[in-house]
C-alpha cells in the first residue's frame, strides 16, 4: 500500500488502523516532504517519496493507493495514476457533484478499482447494530436521528478555510452516507447549513438536514460544531428506532476531538409487546481508527478478486454526493415563506 497525503487524518486514523489490521504500508508521499518523513518515522514506513513522479516510477503492479487528500485534489492525482489502479479516495468524492461525476467517469475510463472512505458505515458499533437488525431484534427500522452538539477544532484542517463548502461536505456527509446504507436513496432532501460569528472564516459549521423517505420513515441530522461551553451539555449520538426496539449510540470521539471519550451502546427490545429495560453492550473498537480498516479492506478484497467491487465503491458513493449536492441546493433555495396576516 502507498499513501498520498500525510495530514492529521492519516496520523490519527488511517495508519493506526492499518497497523491494527497488519496492512503492509510500503511508502508515503506528501507535498510537504518533512511531514511525510515525520509520519514515516512514526509508523515505520520504509519509503518516503520526494514527488508523485518518483512514487509512480517505483510502485509495483497491483499496488493499492490511499489518497488521503482534500476532495479538490482527487482528479489531478487520479489522472496521474496508472490504469487499473486500486484506489481508496478520502471523502468527499470531489468538492461538488460535478467533480464527483468526473471522478466516477475517470475511474471508469481507467478501469480502476476505486472506493471512497465513508468509514462510519464500518464502525464497530454500526456493525453491532446491523447484526441486531439482521436478526430482526429491532423489527422494521423506521427512524434514524443523528444529533451532534460539540466543539470541533476546524483549524486542524487548514485547507477548509479556503473551501466554499465545509460542514455538510466534510462532516455531515458521513451521516448522509450512513443513513443511505440503511434506508437507501431518499426521495428528496431538505437542509439549511449556516456559519457562526466565532468562525466567520469557514463557509458553514452548523446544519439541519432531513432525508425524505415518505410518510413512514424519518431521517434527521442535526449538527452544531460551535458548542464551546464545556462537555457537560455536549452530545454526539446516533439513534435508531424500529417497531420492536431501539439503539442509541453515544460517539465519544467527537467530544474533545481528537482525544475523544468512551462510546456507549445502549438498546431496548420488546418481547410480545412488552419492553424490557434499557441495557448496554460493550463494543470492541470505535470509529477512529477501527472503522478505517473496513473501508480499506473493501478495496483490498476487490483488488484480490475476493469480491466483485468494494461496498464503498465510487458507483455507490456518487449517490451520497448527489444527496450532499441536494442538501446545498435546498439550503440556498430556502424554505417556504409564511403568509402573514
Q: Is 328 exposed, middle or buried (0-12, 13-18, 19+ CB in 10 A)?
A: buried
**Of residues 80, 77, 66, the one with CA closest to residue 25:** 66
Percent of the chain clearing pLDDT 70 (strictly above): 100
Domain ranges for the chain: 2-117+291-307, 124-281
CATH of domain 124-281: 3.30.360.10
CA dist list (Å): 183 to 206, 240, 254: 24, 11, 24
Tell me, yes or no, if the two domains 2-117+291-307 and 124-281 fold the same way: no
Pick from 308, 297, 319: which is nearest to 88 by CA?
297
Residue-wise pLDDT for 195-242, tens only, equals 999 999 999 999 999 999 999 999 999 999 999 999 999 999 999 999
| Dist CA 97 CA 84 (whole Å) | 24
d(CA 285, CA 41): 25
pLDDT at res. 272: 80
pLDDT in tens, 101-123: 999 999 999 999 999 999 999 99
Lowest mean pLDDT among 48-52, 173-177, 228-232: 228-232
Question: Which of 192-196, 259-263, 329-333 has the weakest average pLDDT?
Answer: 259-263
- Listed in sequence order, the residues at least 6 apart from 264 whose beta carbon sits closer than 8 Å to its beta carbon are 248, 249, 250, 252, 280
Cell of 122: 464500518
pTM of the model: 0.96
- Three-state SS for 65? strand
pLDDT of amino acid 324: 98
Architecture of the domain spanning 2-117+291-307: 3-Layer(aba) Sandwich (3.40)
262: which 3 cell numbers?
468512551
Distance CA 146, CA 221 (A): 5
Is residue 230 exposed (0-12), middle (13-18) or buried (19+ Cβ within 10 Å)? exposed
Q: Widest CA span of the chain, in angstroms?
A: 72
> How sure is the predictor about 2, in pLDDT bands with cuts at 50, 70 and 90?
very high
298's grid cell: 473493501
Amino acid at each position: 500500500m502507498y499513501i498520498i497525503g500525510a495530514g492529521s487524518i492519516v496520523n490519527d486514523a488511517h495508519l493506526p488502523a492499518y497497523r491494527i489490521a497488519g496492512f503492509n504500508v510500503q511508502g508515503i508521499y506528501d507535498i510537504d516532504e518533512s511531514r511525510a518523513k515525520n509520519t514515516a518515522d512514526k509508523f515505520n514506513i520504509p519509503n518516503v517519496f520526494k514527488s508523485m513522479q518518483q512514487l509512480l516510477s517505483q510502485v509495483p503492479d497491483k499496488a493499492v493507493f490511499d489518497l488521503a487528500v482534500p476532495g479538490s485534489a482527487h482528479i489531478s492525482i487520479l489522472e496521474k495514476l496508472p490504469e487499473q489502479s486500486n484506489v481508496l479516495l478520502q471523502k468527499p468524492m470531489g468538492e461538488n457533484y460535478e467533480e464527483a461525476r468526473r471522478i466516477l467517469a475517470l475511474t471508469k475510463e481507467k478501469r480502476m478499482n476505486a472506493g471512497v472512505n465513508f468509514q462510519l458505515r464500518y464502525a464497530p458499533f454500526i456493525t453491532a447494530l446491523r447484526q441486531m437488525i439482521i436478526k430482526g431484534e429491532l423489527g422494521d427500522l423506521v427512524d434514524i436521528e443523528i444529533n451532534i452538539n460539540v466543539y470541533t477544532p476546524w483549524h486542524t484542517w487548514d485547507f477548509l478555510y479556503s473551501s466554499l463548502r465545509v460542514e455538510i461536505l466534510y462532516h455531515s456527509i458521513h451521516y448522509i452516507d450512513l443513513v443511505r446504507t440503511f434506508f437507501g436513496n431518499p426521495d428528496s432532501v431538505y437542509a439549511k447549513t449556516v456559519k457562526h460569528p466565532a468562525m466567520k472564516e469557514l463557509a458553514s459549521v452548523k446544519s439541519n438536514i432531513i432525508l425524505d423517505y415518505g410518510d413512514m420513515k424519518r431521517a434527521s441530522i442535526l449538527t452544531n460544531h460551535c458548542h464551546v461551553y464545556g462537555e457537560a451539555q455536549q452530545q454526539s449520538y446516533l439513534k435508531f428506532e424500529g417497531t420492536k426496539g431501539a439503539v442509541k449510540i453515544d460517539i465519544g470521539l467527537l467530544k474533545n476531538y481528537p482525544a475523544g471519550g468512551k462510546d456507549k451502546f445502549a438498546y431496548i427490545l420488546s418481547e410480545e409487546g412488552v419492553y424490557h429495560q434499557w441495557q448496554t453492550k460493550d463494543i470492541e473498537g470505535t470509529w477512529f481508527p477501527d472503522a478505517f480498516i473496513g473501508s480499506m479492506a473493501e478495496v483490498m478484497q476487490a483488488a484480490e478478486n475476493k469480491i466483485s467491487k468494494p461496498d464503498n465503491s465510487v458507483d455507490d458513493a456518487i449517490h451520497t454526493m448527489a444527496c450532499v449536492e441536494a442538501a446545498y441546493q435546498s439550503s440556498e433555495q430556502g424554505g417556504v415563506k409564511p403568509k402573514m396576516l
